[in-house]
């Protein structure tokens, strides 16, 4: 078998494969002999069917199958040995006069080649790396939420400004009939607040749904309907008061600290605030890191310029899917995927240049850390190492999970690299300012 490459341009090539009778004959004969041994054809004893009949019945199919196997194996071997960095898979060229009755065959395959380019992590333009801090306002609000969450309910005779009111919203036309708890402080509409203040159990108050709550999602929850539908509503609903309670905030004492963090781990209000600050900023770091990763990705895609074998890739998309596409459909698909492909190539170049690898042991440790986080959410704060090992082994036996975790670990490694080598400009902001600046 002879394989040669014809370079069309920097991004396109044609590989020509010459298959001779010597390449496939022995294998085809061996397979046909096995067929002869097993063949059951009326008029002949098993194993005694004439070889000519076997070849006539099965010869062409065996030949085609064997030649295709040879092509696949040797073409892949050639691409590896020649270190050809191809995009997609080789596409067989159409040969109108191809003859399977010949003894020697010639095949041609189109190749799309990866472009050559360099990646400089030390970008000319400094990219913002946010450090999100928990300010006093946020910390104090969190302390208040904790006190409220763990506080005691005190029954009231009439509605006050800081009370929680249990009741039922109804509207016959919209088929609304939903029991809920309304916090007076979360009501936005002043007229609604005034109509509720001073009311008693059993009273029915008519409220308008438009701008009823300070947060849009609260209306859907209160009425028992989808948030999207609730946002469009501008109707009157009846609210029947069934219970009125005031939430007495929990005291900031050792009993509360132990309940929150475990016995003796926090012993004062000052330590509580320090812990809240640390925990909050640790969570913020994940958002900051994701923002940095997104910004660097976009920056590389926009600033690292290289051509792609567009015509080849469009043809590859057109011919390799489950359902054949038209040229227009394939071009549209290529346009959608081009950005992702460009970053795949850039990321691959960074990984190769910096010799970043993922070892199984570190993937296992990464999986165990992920499992530990999930267990902590369900109150299992100190799982045994043996238990973590067993769960990790089950997770890593699933190839889809291995792929997902490997991608996450690689992103983490790339992020560490970017923090070390990229041109970053640190910026300290509160979470509120971060949201405004990043999301508008």
List of residues 6+ apart from 89 with CB closer than 8 A: 316, 320
Query: Can you give the pLDDT at residue 173?
Result: 92
The residue whose two tokens read 């609210």 is 239
Which one is predicted more confidently, 5 or 228? 5
CA-CA distance, 167 to 207, in Å (whole number)? Answer: 13
Query: Can you give the pLDDT at residue 270?
Result: 95
Rg (CA), the chain: 34
Residue 287's pLDDT band, with cuts at 50, 70 and 90, is: very high
| Whether the Cβ atoms of residue 274 and residue 142 lie closer than 8 Å to each other | no
Tell me which DSSP letter residue 187 carries. Answer: B
The CATH code belonging to domain 152-248 is 3.10.50
Res 410 pLDDT > 80: yes
Res 428 pLDDT > 70: yes
User: Would you list the domain boundaries of the chain?
Assistant: 2-113, 152-248, 268-439
Res 80 pLDDT > 90: yes
Query: Can you give the pLDDT at residue 40?
Result: 76
Query: Can you give the pLDDT at residue 49?
Result: 82
Query: CB under 8 Å, gap of 24 or more: what pairs does 133-137 form?
Result: 133/281, 133/284, 133/428, 133/429, 133/430, 133/431, 134/276, 134/277, 134/280, 134/281, 134/284, 134/430, 134/431, 135/430, 137/430
Task: Give the Å distances, CA to CA, from 149 to 122, 144, 250.
Answer: 48, 8, 8
CA-CA distance, 12 to 178, in Å (whole number)? Answer: 65
Burial of 205 (0-12, 13-18, 19+ CB in 10 A): middle
Res 231 pLDDT > 90: no
Q: Give the burial string for 107-138 (b: 16+ CB within 10 Å, else e).
A: bebbbbbbbeeebeeebeeebebbebbbbeeb
Q: Can you tell me the mean pLDDT for 300-326? A: 91
Q: Can you tell me the mean pLDDT for 141-145? A: 93
- Helix ranges (H only) for 150-189 are none
Q: Can you tell me the mean pLDDT for 219-230? A: 92
| Whether the Cβ atoms of residue 134 and residue 277 lie closer than 8 Å to each other | yes
Task: Give the rounded percent of residues in the chain with a pLDDT score beyond 90.
Answer: 79
List of residues 6+ apart from 254 with CB closer than 8 A: 267
CB atoms within 10 A of CB 149: 11
Residue 394's pLDDT band, with cuts at 50, 70 and 90, is: very high
Report, at the CATH architecture level, how domain 268-439 is classified. Orthogonal Bundle (1.10)
Q: Give the burial string for 380-401 (b: 16+ CB within 10 Å, else e).
A: eeeeeeeebeebbeebbeeeee
CA-CA distance, 325 to 233, in Å (whole number)? Answer: 44
Evaluate if pTM is beyond 0.85.
no
The 10s digit of each residue's pLDDT in 181-218 is 999 999 999 999 999 999 999 999 999 999 999 998 89
φ, ψ of residue 431 to 5 degrees: the values are: -60, -40
Residue 42's pLDDT band, with cuts at 50, 70 and 90, is: confident
Q: H or E element: which one contains 129?
A: strand 127-133
Query: Can you give the pLDDT at residue 317?
Result: 93
Q: Can you tell me the mean pLDDT for 137-150? A: 92
Query: Can you give the pLDDT at residue 381?
Result: 65
CB atoms within 10 A of CB 418: 22
* Total residue length of the chain: 440
Q: In DSSP terms, which residues pair with 165 in a beta bridge?
A: 182, 244
Helix (H, G, I), strand (E, B), or coil: what is residue 401? helix
Res 225 pLDDT > 90: yes
The residue whose two tokens read 């397979």 is 31
CA-CA distance, 386 to 377, in Å (whole number)? Answer: 19
Q: Among 123-127, 207-211, 394-398, which stretch is predicted with the lowest mean pLDDT?
A: 123-127
Residue 375's pLDDT band, with cuts at 50, 70 and 90, is: confident
CA-CA distance, 138 to 423, in Å (whole number)? Answer: 31
Query: Can you give the pLDDT at residue 106?
Result: 93
Helix (H, G, I), strand (E, B), or coil: what is residue 58? helix
Specify the CATH superfamily of domain 2-113.
Trigger factor ribosome-binding domain (3.30.70.1050)
């Amino acid at each position: 078998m002879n394989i040669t490459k014809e370079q069309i341009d920097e991004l396109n090539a044609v590989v020509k494969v010459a298959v001779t009778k010597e390449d496939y004959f022995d294998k085809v004969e061996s397979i046909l002999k096995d067929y002869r041994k097993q063949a059951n054809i009326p008029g002949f004893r098993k194993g005694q069917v004439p070889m000519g009949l076997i070849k006539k019945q099965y010869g062409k199919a065996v030949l085609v199958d064997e030649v295709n196997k040879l092509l696949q194996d040797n073409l892949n071997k050639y691409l590896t040995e020649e270190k050809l960095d191809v995009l997609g898979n080789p596409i067989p060229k159409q040969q109108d006069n191809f003859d399977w009755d010949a003894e020697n065959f010639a095949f041609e395959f189109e190749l799309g080649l990866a472009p050559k380019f360099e990646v400089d992590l030390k970008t000319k333009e400094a990219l913002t790396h946010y450090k999100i801090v928990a300010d006093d306002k946020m910390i104090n609000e969190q302390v208040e939420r904790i006190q409220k969450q763990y506080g005691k309910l005190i029954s009231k005779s009439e509605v006050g400004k800081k009370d929680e009111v249990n009741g039922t919203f109804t509207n016959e036309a919209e088929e609304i009939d939903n029991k809920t708890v309304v916090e007076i402080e979360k009501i936005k509409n002043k007229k609604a607040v005034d109509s509720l203040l001073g009311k008693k159990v059993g009273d029915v108050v008519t409220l308008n749904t438009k701008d009823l709550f300070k947060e849009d999602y609260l209306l859907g929850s209160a009425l028992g309907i989808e948030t999207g539908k609730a946002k469009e509503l501008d109707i009157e609903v009846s609210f029947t008061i069934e219970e009125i309670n005031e939430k007495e905030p929990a005291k900031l004492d050792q009993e509360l600290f132990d309940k929150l963090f475990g016995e003796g781990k926090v012993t004062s209000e000052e330590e509580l605030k320090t812990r809240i600050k640390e925990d909050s900023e640790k969570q913020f770091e994940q958002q900051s890191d994701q923002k940095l990763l997104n910004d660097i990705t976009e920056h590389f895609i926009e600033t690292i310029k290289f051509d792609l074998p567009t015509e080849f890739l469009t043809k590859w998309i057109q011919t390799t899917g489950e359902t054949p596409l038209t040229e227009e459909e394939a071009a549209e698909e290529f346009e959608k995927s081009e950005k992702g492909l460009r970053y795949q190539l850039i990321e691959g170049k960074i990984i190769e240049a910096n010799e970043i690898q993922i070892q199984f042991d570190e993937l296992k440790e990464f999986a165990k850390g992920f499992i530990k986080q999930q267990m902590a959410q369900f109150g299992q704060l100190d799982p045994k190492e043996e238990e973590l090992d067993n769960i990790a082994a089950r997770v890593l036996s699933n190839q889809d999970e291995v792929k997902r975790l490997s991608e996450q670990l690689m992103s983490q490694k790339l992020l560490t690299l970017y923090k070390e080598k990229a041109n970053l400009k640190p910026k300290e902001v509160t979470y509120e300012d971060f949201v405004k600046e990043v999301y508008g």
